[in-house]
């Protein structure tokens, strides 16, 4: 089976849905952020604060390239993966890139109680979310398919993706 990479903004449900899809399709679930943390031996927050975002992006890019070489995987990507053209090329080379989206209000609600996202650990997370969403819109638009998860349950999102994949000949 081709790889299926889930991209999209923080809080749109990528990790949860990727794990669910992997279970349904009986293939591997890979989480890029978890791989980065394992490789570096520290949390994403510590990587950002101790080594900086450019260093994080370099490691992220290397892991995306490595993982893209495999097949039969559902890949949960960090929200900024699409900012790098080579990442997008790698993820689409032998796979589909599916974007999960949600309204800013839903994103705020889903992310407000967690502190593991350095980009949102700021005084005004709402403003930051609006800014980043605006900047990133054209990058997320490169996905092969997009699902708005705002009013959907996890199961409904998975069903939507599965039926799209079926149309593409993926079972």
Task: Note the residues at the interface with ligand S3P (CB under 6 A).
Answer: 10, 14, 33, 44, 78-80, 117-119
Residue closer to ligand S3P by CB (options 61, 117) is 117
What is the number of the residue whose Cβ is closest to ligand S3P? Answer: 78
Q: How far apart are CA 124 and CA 19, in angstroms?
A: 31
Q: How far apart are CA 58 and CA 138, in angstroms?
A: 21
Which SS3 state, helix, strand or coil, does residue 146 take?
strand
Residue closer to ligand S3P by CB (options 10, 88) is 10
- H/E run at residue 154: helix 154-167
79-91 burial, b at 16+ Cβ within 10 Å, e below that, comes to bbbbebeebbebb
To ligand S3P, the closest distance from the beta carbon of 79 in angstroms equals 2
Residue closer to ligand S3P by CB (options 3, 111) is 111
Residue closer to ligand S3P by CB (options 80, 95) is 80
To ligand S3P, the closest distance from the beta carbon of 57 in angstroms equals 9
């Amino acid at each position: 089976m081709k790889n299926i990479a889930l991209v999209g903004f923080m809080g749109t449900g990528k990790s949860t849905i990727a794990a669910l899809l992997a279970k349904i399709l009986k293939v591997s679930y890979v989480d890029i952020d978890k791989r980065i943390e394992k490789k570096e031996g520290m949390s994403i927050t510590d990587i950002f604060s101790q080594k900086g975002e450019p260093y994080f992006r370099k490691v992220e890019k290397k892991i995306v390239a490595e993982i893209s070489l495999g097949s039969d995987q559902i890949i949960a990507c960090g929200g900024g993966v699409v900012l790098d053209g080579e990442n997008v090329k790698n993820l689409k080379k032998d796979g589909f890139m599916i974007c999960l989206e949600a309204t800013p209000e839903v994103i705020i609600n889903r992310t407000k109680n967690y502190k593991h996202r350095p980009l949102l650990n700021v005084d005004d997370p709402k403003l930051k979310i609006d800014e980043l969403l605006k900047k990133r819109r054209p990058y997320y638009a490169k996905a092969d398919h997009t699902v708005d998860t705002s009013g959907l349950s996890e199961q409904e999102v998975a069903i939507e993706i599965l039926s799209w994949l079926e149309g593409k000949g993926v079972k």
